[in-house]
Amino acid sequence: MFIQDSIYNEFLKSFEKGNIQGLDQIEQTLTNHNSPLSQYWLAYAQYYKSIYFLKMGNKKQSKKIVQDAIALLEKQESKDSEVLALLALMQSYYIQFTAGMDAGIISARVKENANESIKLDSNNIRGWYVLANNDYYTPKQFGGGKKAEEYLLKAISLPEQKLKNPIMPSWGKSDSYFLLISFYIDNEEMEKAKKIFIQAKELYPDNYMINQYAAKFQD
């Protein structure tokens, strides 16, 4: 099983169990390996722990955990395309804990890191997804919403991985489909939304987020 899938599965189980013991165990295992890749997955696991606490209404703990995850990646001396994409994703998530000028500063860092990610590897779907995600959620009065479609179409045209490898990241493609459907619905382009939904459904028939839109496209 992919490391990524193990983390996500434990994240889902945490809501059934009411605790994060499974994620804690993964984190402990990763902490024992001091390689850049293990640090990447440690940050990824912490990101999902942060989401868990946010969903459970504990914003203070959620903020602290994602701050730790961001710091973990920021201190890596040599950041490759994958590290920069994950760092940008977590910084984008962190914006909700900020306001005013601070939010603008973090948003600029998201763009900078995501752009650097695709500069290092123009076929990294995760860099394109994070750029799109940041643009989509940036308010229109601050210039948001202009590039999301372009970035998402690029993202869904790319493979999850160049070569299948269970220890490397593969996230971003189903998220890109979901966000593109959302974008078209927001802009009342229902034919385009339906076309992308059908493509997404073929690739990810059991994806909860994508299936939320099923009722909208029933004939």
Q: What confidence tens digit (pLDDT) does each residue in 72-88 have?
A: 999 999 999 999 999 99
Cα dihedral 185, 212, 45, 169 sign: negative
Q: What confidence tens digit (pLDDT) does each residue in 45-71 have?
A: 999 999 999 999 999 999 999 999 999
Give the C-alpha separation, 131 to 144, whole Å. Answer: 11
Q: Where are the beta strands (DSSP E) in 2-121?
A: none
Q: Tell me phi and psi for residue 70, to 5 degrees.
A: -60, -45
What is the 3-state composition of the chain as percent helix, strand, coil, each rounded to the nearest 5? 75, 0, 25
The reply to whether the predicted model has a pTM over 0.75 is: yes
Q: Is 127 exposed, middle or buried (0-12, 13-18, 19+ CB in 10 A)?
A: buried
pLDDT, residue 141, reads 86
Number of Cα atoms under 13 Å in the Cβ half of residue 201: 14
Give the C-alpha separation, 60 to 79, whole Å. Answer: 28
Give the CA radius of gyration of the chain.
Answer: 17
Cβ neighbour number for residue 164 with a 10 Å cutoff = 10
pLDDT, residue 143, reads 86
End-to-end CA distance of the chain: 37
149-163 in b/e burial notation, b at 16+ Cβ within 10 A?
Answer: bebbebbbebeeeee
Give the C-alpha separation, 150 to 66, whole Å. Answer: 29
Share of the chain above pLDDT 90, in %: 90
Q: What confidence tens digit (pLDDT) does each residue in 84-125 have?
A: 999 999 999 999 999 889 998 999 999 999 999 999 999 999
8 A C-beta contact, residue 51 and residue 61: no
When pLDDT is cut at 50, 70 and 90, the band that residue 219 belongs to is low
Q: What confidence tens digit (pLDDT) does each residue in 149-181 have?
A: 999 999 999 999 999 999 999 999 999 999 999
- In 3D, which of 202, 158, 208 has the Cα closest to residue 178? 208
Q: What are the boundaries of each domain within the chain?
A: 1-78
pLDDT, residue 139, reads 86
Give the C-alpha separation, 121 to 123, whole Å. Answer: 5
Give the C-alpha separation, 98 to 134, whole Å. Answer: 15
Dihedral-angle region of residue 207 (phi above 0 means left; psi in -120 to 50 means alpha; beta otherwise): beta
At position 25, the amino acid (one-letter code) is Q
